[in-house]
Amino acid sequence: MRSLLSYKSRLFFGSLLVMLLPLAIMEPIKGFSQGRAAFITSIILAGIAHLLNTKSLSVFSNFPGRKSAVIALPHTFFWFFGMWMAAKFFNLPYTVWFLFMAGCLSLFLCIAYIYYRNKFITTYAYLPYGRAINADQLPNVNWIKLTSPDLPVATNINGIVADLHEPELDHHWQKFLASQTLAGMPVYNIRQVEEFLTGRVKIHHLYENDLGSLLPSPTYVLIKRLADILLILLSCPITLPVMLVTAIAIKLESPGSVLFRQNRVGRGGHEFCIYKFRSMCSDSEKNGAQMAQLGDSRVTRIGHIIRKTRIDELPQFWNILKGDMSLIGPRPEQKIFVDRFIQEIPFYDYRHIVKPGISGWAQVTQGYAADTEQTQIKIEHDFYYIKHFSFSLDILIFFKTLKTMLTGFGAR
């Protein structure tokens, strides 16, 4: 209840500050020279933008990983730019300096919230039985091991974690968990906590997975398809010149085709031809298909740049328009690797239930997978994405992709 009240109070007082402080600053300077209607509209737009900004940040906090304060910048820009576009589109009177100051205030409040949240580390007590025996190895949590059905005195514990299906939990432990639940202490199943802290869903047996619950929403699939097409068309004035310059640079550096074509496995296990800017020498697969390695000698000088910034993926916009791919989803693999991984990794082909994407949850959290062990982890990230298939997660991946493009995380 305290966190709920904290969120509501943060929303209320933050909205008042974002709406009224710019007015208090601008009114003595310009008065209502731009018209009372412009100020009223700007106040409403700023309030809506901040509400959406705060709400979406709160939703993002439910996804795994510690959130960097840097994410607040594109996040705030997204909502305030959207309100500005709405005012332009509907020809509403507004004050651009008011929206700018309100946006800066909203950004400051969001950064302060993320910084405040990251200062505190959650403390969980765990019962060392079954799958929870190594719970203390999970990240971003302070763990306390319970050897008897009692909580340590004078310790602030935020929850208790146990393998609730473990037969070794005798009636003493069960009575302890029941009494703690009645006292208001949250009790979590280890699988739930593993998923939240790692951003991965592990599937080893059919009974561990509610396959039906992982089916993506048909409504959001349609919305996502329409959004993909719209975003690609809107980005053309920026991406087309970048693609032209990239094509010329590749042609000048090394002989061979500008584009690299390769069959990949998409939704439903169907193969399609993927397009990328060629970042390797033209005979890179003369010895057969192989995964890229760190410092791969086959990568050209231009290739290093476009792979690090993900510019080499831009031709896949054509794959998206054709319906083979989406902007966000699990990365498509070659058939030869898919056939191998299906034999080695349980439920590998289940990742093909959604369209593959240019960027995905595994790419922005794990990076490149170069062997079967790393691919197993990547698949668990893909399962997490499918289970939480939503607009909020796609937006989070989009912002993380921007960070990945700037840092080159995961490039080979």
In this prediction, residue 5 carries a pLDDT of 46
Give the CA-trace dihedral at 94, 98, 101, 104, to 10 degrees. Answer: -30
Residue bearing the bigger pLDDT, 263 or 404:
263
Instruction: Confirm if 199 and 64 have CB atoms less than 8 A apart.
Output: yes
Residue bearing the bigger pLDDT, 245 or 217:
245
Q: Band of the pLDDT at 39, cuts 50, 70, 90?
A: confident
Q: Does residue 317 register a pLDDT over 90?
A: yes
Cβ-proximal residues to 282 (8 Å cutoff; 6+ apart), any chain: 254, 255, 256, 257
Q: How far is 124 from 132, CA to CA, in rounded Å?
A: 12
- pLDDT tens digit sequence for 160-196: 999 988 888 888 899 999 999 998 888 999 988 888 8
In this prediction, residue 4 carries a pLDDT of 44
Q: How far is 152 from 155, CA to CA, in rounded Å?
A: 6
Q: Band of the pLDDT at 207, cuts 50, 70, 90?
A: very low
State the average pLDDT for the chain. Answer: 83
Residue bearing the bigger pLDDT, 215 or 297:
215
154-163, 237-246, 276-285 — most confident range: 237-246
- φ, ψ for residue 91 (rounded to 5)? 55, 45
What residue ranges do the domains of the chain occupy?
A: 2-119, 122-198, 218-280+298-407
In this prediction, residue 49 carries a pLDDT of 92
Q: Does residue 238 register a pLDDT over 70?
A: yes
- Which amino acid, 323? G
The residue-averaged pLDDT of 287-314 equals 73
Instruction: Confirm if 395 and 354 have CB atoms less than 8 A apart.
Output: no
**Among 17-21, 294-298, 333-337, whose mean pLDDT is lowest?**
294-298
The residue-averaged pLDDT of 265-279 equals 91
In this prediction, residue 55 carries a pLDDT of 83
Q: Band of the pLDDT at 32, cuts 50, 70, 90?
A: low
In this prediction, residue 327 carries a pLDDT of 94
Q: Does residue 410 register a pLDDT over 80?
A: no
In this prediction, residue 285 carries a pLDDT of 56
Q: Does residue 210 register a pLDDT over 80?
A: no
Closest by CA to 158, choosing from 178, 188, 132, 134, is 188
Instruction: Confirm if 76 and 110 have CB atoms less than 8 A apart.
Output: yes
Instruction: Confirm if 203 and 346 have CB atoms less than 8 A apart.
Output: yes
- Which amino acid, 224? K
Beta-strand pair 259-265/271-277: antiparallel
**Among 271-275, 294-298, 332-336, 354-358, whose mean pLDDT is lowest?**
294-298
- φ, ψ for residue 294 (rounded to 5)? -65, 125
Q: What's the chain look like in SS3?
A: CHHHHHHHHHHHHHHHHHHHHHHHHHHHHHCCCCCHHHHHHHHHHHHHHHHHHHHHHHHHCCCCCCCCHHHHHHHHHHHHHHHHHHHHHCCCCCCHHHHHHHHHHHHHHHHHHHHHHHHCCEEEEECCCHHHCCHHHCCCEEEEECCCCCCCCCCCCCEEEECCCCCCCCHHHHHHHHHHHHCCCCEEEHHHHHHHHHCCCCCCCHHHCCHHHHCCCHHHHHHHHHHHHHHHHHHHHHHHHHHHHHHHHHHHHCCCCCEEEEEEECHHHCEEEEEEECCECCCCCCCCCCCCCCCCCCECHHHHHHHHCCHHHCCHHHHHHHCCCEEECCCCCCHHHHHHHHHHCCCHHHHHHCCCEEECHHHHHCCCCCCHHHHHHHHHHHHHHHHCCCHHHHHHHHHHHHHHHHHCCCCC
Q: How far is 82 from 88, CA to CA, in rounded Å?
A: 10
Closest by CA to 331, choosing from 299, 292, 294, 368, is 368
In this prediction, residue 26 carries a pLDDT of 74
In this prediction, residue 292 carries a pLDDT of 56
Closest by CA to 124, choosing from 151, 149, 150, 159, is 159
In this prediction, residue 143 carries a pLDDT of 93
Percentage of residues in the chain with pLDDT exceeding 90? 27
Residue bearing the bigger pLDDT, 82 or 71:
82
**Among 159-163, 332-336, 400-404, whose mean pLDDT is lowest?**
400-404
In this prediction, residue 271 carries a pLDDT of 93
Percentage of residues in the chain with pLDDT exceeding 70? 85
The CATH code belonging to domain 122-198 is 3.40.50
Cβ-proximal residues to 331 (8 Å cutoff; 6+ apart), any chain: 356, 357, 360, 362, 363
In this prediction, residue 200 carries a pLDDT of 86
In this prediction, residue 370 carries a pLDDT of 65
Q: Band of the pLDDT at 307, cuts 50, 70, 90?
A: confident
**Among 61-70, 126-135, 143-152, whose mean pLDDT is lowest?**
61-70
Q: How far is 265 from 268, CA to CA, in rounded Å?
A: 8
In this prediction, residue 167 carries a pLDDT of 85
